[in-house]
Amino acid sequence: MKRALLLVLVVLVAFTTLLFARALALPSRQLQVTPAPRIALDEDALAKRLGAALRFETVSSADPSALPRGEFEKFQRWLAEAYPRLHAGLSLERVSDLSLLYTWQGSDPALPPLLLLAHQDVVPVDAPERWAEPPFAGLISDGFVWGRGAIDDKASLLSICEAVELLLGRGFRPTRTVLLAFGHDEEVGGAHGATQIAAVLASRAVHPWFVLDEGGVILAPGLVPGIQGPVAMVGVAEKGYVTLDVVAKAEGGHSSRPPRHTAAGILAKAVLALEDHPMPASIGGVTGSTIAYLAPEMPLPGRMLLANLWLFAAPLEAVLSRQPSTNAFLRTTTAVTQLTGSPKDNVLPSQAVAGVNFRILPGDTVDVVLTRARAVVNDPRVEVRPRSPGPEPSPVSPMDSRSFALLARTIRESFPDTIVVPSLVIGATDSRHYGEVTQELYRFLPIHMDSSDLTRPHGIDERLSTQNYADAVRYQVQLLENAAGSAP
């Protein structure tokens, strides 16, 4: 008996030692760099220009006749005035009329160009009265620039322009050609902007070294459980998108003689089945890479857990699936967003329809989602069909590339003590349209966000601190010097 107990104890100790040994053996994947010297900037002037840019109501629309062309034209005239060196030193082409493609010619034409993306358009504001400051006034108060586009994506567009203007003023000349592509319809799919710019580049056989777009941001300390410092999420892939129409049909008629289940009731059952049977979760793929980069930076307990996923994958998956914010990184998500039935309370619906929006994880496809949804609903009275052919998930960009390493280095030089990790972008960006011209597509906006900031883009009180914005400009300067300077 004593021997058996002893044996169990020995096995337990050996097992625990093994778990800890694996955790301790994890090497950090963070590059060791020297922080970049802090550039002196007129931060007030920077904030004022960002504020000025937010006053143009460049709201895109899927309906071309509803596009406020005048606002885009005024914004572009303002850009030319605000950044005179940029407009003198770079050539500008207009694509689809309102999208802008700038070329900053490098001295070595043999080097593939760098392509920086941003978009001029913003999403509409539906409840301006709920904002602390008006959404299109570009006001600066409490140390913040307020307005629609302050983060998404005029901060990105303007910080790139500021960096180019500053470098031109210093006499900097890029070795590598730098392209700036500013679409005008990202928020409605990019069919006229990014898609057409990518086609222009493809027709000229221009294959950028890498593309950098919005996407991941720098998460404030505490937002990533177990990590002390800020975490920069560099998007290496983005989810796809499809909306399925789930259509239940039944006899119509007067509601005074109803059948046991109306079309609405049949539909309700199908909708519930879809919610109750989500697409399978996985902590592999891009999210597995995020975890692999985070694990070595965690204190020992967390590190032990993440270093031994062969043992802890299932419980970790269960915990992460519970929170919508982490669940979205593990699986293709299912969101029932629209329901319609009878137009009148005393009329039986002959048809009831639900719109179900899926955000597709790389690895799944529109077809996989459709097939599974049909199998889950499994009811001959219910038809499941795609509303429109949504974009498939993007390919995964390499994480062992020179370009990814350059980005990681630039981020750590500009924002010391920030952990850089590859990540999945759960929304859509313009970058997906450039897959034909390069495989190295990254998505990162040099903006710090805390938990209260995450709902501001597309939401209420979009704002950016003047400090945060100035640091974003410093990062863009560092990026251009690292990627296009004399020894890239």
462 binds Zn ion per the rule CB under 5 A: no
121, 153, 213, 440: the catalytic one is 121
Q: Please, what is the minimum distance in Å from the beta carbon of residue 119 to Zn ion?
A: 6
Residues whose CB falls within 8 Å of the CB of residue 193, separated by 6 or more in sequence, listed in order: 95, 96, 98, 99, 119, 183, 184, 185, 186, 430
Token pair 């996407």 is found at 215
410-446 burial by CB neighbour count: b if 16+ within 10 A, else e?
bbbbbbeebbbbbbbbebbbbbbbbeebbbbbbbbbb
Q: Please, what is the minimum distance in Å from the beta carbon of residue 394 to Zn ion?
A: 15
186, 413, 430, 453: the catalytic one is 186
Whether the CB-CB separation of 424 and 283 falls below 8 Å is answered with no
Residue whose CB is less far from Zn ion, 154 or 409: 154
What x-and-dash track marks residues 205-224 binding Zn ion by CB under 5 A?
---------x----------
152 binds Zn ion per the rule CB under 5 A: yes
Among the listed ranges 151-159, 247-255, 338-346, 361-369, the one in contact with Zn ion (CB under 5 A) is 151-159
Residue whose CB is less far from Zn ion, 148 or 412: 148
H/E element holding 51? helix 43-54
Residue whose CB is less far from Zn ion, 162 or 214: 214
Q: Which is nearest to 238 in space by CA: 430, 110, 408, 389?
A: 430
Q: Please, what is the minimum distance in Å from the beta carbon of residue 454 to Zn ion?
A: 14
Task: Fill in the DSSP letter of residue 172.
Answer: -
Residue 244: strand pairing partners: 356, 386
Q: Please, what is the minimum distance in Å from the beta carbon of residue 182 to Zn ion?
A: 12
**Could you confirm whether 121 is annotated as catalytic?**
yes
Residue whose CB is less far from Zn ion, 152 or 165: 152
Contact pick of 153, 162, 165, 471 for Zn ion (by CB under 5 A): 153
Q: What is the full DSSP assignment across 305-370?
A: HHHTHHHHHHHHHHHHHHSHHHHTTTS-EEEEEEEE--SSTTEE-SEEEEEEEEEEPBTB-HHHHH
Residue whose CB is less far from Zn ion, 71 or 214: 214
Q: Please, what is the minimum distance in Å from the beta carbon of residue 186 to Zn ion?
A: 6
- With H, G, I as helix, E, B as strand and everything else as coil, classify residue 80: helix
Q: Please, what is the minimum distance in Å from the beta carbon of residue 153 to Zn ion?
A: 4
Residue whose CB is less far from Zn ion, 311 or 454: 454
Q: Please, what is the minimum distance in Å from the beta carbon of residue 445 to Zn ion?
A: 9
Q: What value does the CA radius of gyration of the chain take, rounded to a whole number of Å?
A: 25
Q: Please, what is the minimum distance in Å from the beta carbon of residue 428 to Zn ion?
A: 9
Torsion of CA 450, 455, 457, 459, to 10 degrees: -150
Residue whose CB is less far from Zn ion, 152 or 440: 152
Q: Please, what is the minimum distance in Å from the beta carbon of residue 169 to Zn ion?
A: 28
Residues in binding contact with Zn ion, number by CB under 5 A: 3
Residues whose CB falls within 8 Å of the CB of residue 482, separated by 6 or more in sequence, listed in order: 406, 409, 410, 413, 488
Residue whose CB is less far from Zn ion, 60 or 289: 60
Residue whose CB is less far from Zn ion, 152 or 471: 152
Residues whose CB falls within 8 Å of the CB of residue 315, separated by 6 or more in sequence, listed in order: none
Q: Please, what is the minimum distance in Å from the beta carbon of residue 358 to Zn ion?
A: 21
Interstrand relation of 231-238 and 419-425 (parallel, antiparallel or unpaired): parallel
295/226 Cα distance (integer angstroms) = 9
Q: What is the full DSSP assignment across 356-417?
A: EEEEEPBTB-HHHHHHHHHHHH--TTEEEEESS-PPPPPPPPPSSSHHHHHHHHHHHHHSTT
261/267 Cα distance (integer angstroms) = 10
Q: Which is nearest to 422 in space by CA: 240, 278, 280, 289?
A: 289
What x-and-dash track marks residues 108-147 binding Zn ion by CB under 5 A?
----------------------------------------
**Could you confirm whether 481 is annotated as catalytic?**
no
Amino acid at position 219, single letter:
L
Task: Fill in the DSSP letter of residue 32.
Answer: P
Residue whose CB is less far from Zn ion, 247 or 426: 426
Burial of 28 (0-12, 13-18, 19+ CB in 10 A): exposed
185 binds Zn ion per the rule CB under 5 A: no
Among the listed ranges 13-21, 149-157, 335-343, 447-455, the one in contact with Zn ion (CB under 5 A) is 149-157
Task: Give residues 261-300 in contact with Zn ion (rule: CB under 5 A).
Answer: none
Q: Give the interface with Zn ion as residue ranges (CB under 5 A).
A: 152-153, 214
Task: Give catalytic residues, as residue numbers.
Answer: 121, 186
